[in-house]
Structure 1
Amino acid sequence: MCGALGIHPSGYYAWLKQPISYRQQQDKRLIPSIKQFWLESGGHYGYRNIYLDLKEARINCGRDRVLRLMREAGLKAQRGYKTPKGYYSGVPDIKTANQLQREFDVEKPNQWWVSDITYIHTH
């Protein structure tokens, strides 16, 4: 293998015995904290909010470092309703019948109730 790569065997063995660098040690120390904050957020936080949580906990690291470590650990923010929708054709969704028929004048109170629940996150 050393001949194919054009390196000396002693350099390979020196590389094998090389101690873990300070940066790698710090990365190993940061990954559990990043996972903890990510799990506490329910998996919704991305690297920017995780970075702010680490900063609030007085753990010093850079935003891009958090991004790199989250990518290596396979942690992603869950996107809500902003996920891109595909273009589908076919049968439209079944909707309930419109019982008001746009007649909003009622004879007495509490006869009709209207609400908008599009702000509620459903799965």
Structure 2
Amino acid sequence: MQASMSRKGNCYDNAPIESFWGTLKTELVYSRRFATREQARQAITEYIELFSNRQRIQARLDYLSPAAYTARYFSEKIAA
């Protein structure tokens, strides 16, 4: 695994994804044991696609899920 690096002079550009990986590990990976890599891959994919993107609300997105925020953005863009 390669170390996470930010752009020169910007120590914060990786902060959102680093936060996401920390949350994923805390909520999913550390609480389960996977028999195979395939089971781990499937569980992580489901976590991201079904829970994190569609259900989990986020304060920085006006307390909407990423999917709802994206839908709102495009509906406002089309209406304009």
Q: Which has the higher contact order (CA 8 A, sep 6+)?
A: 1
Asked if Structure 1 and Structure 2 have the same fold, meaning a TM-score greater than 0.5 normalized by the shorter chain, the answer is no
Max Rg structure: 1
Q: Shorter-chain TM-score category? A: 0.3 to 0.5
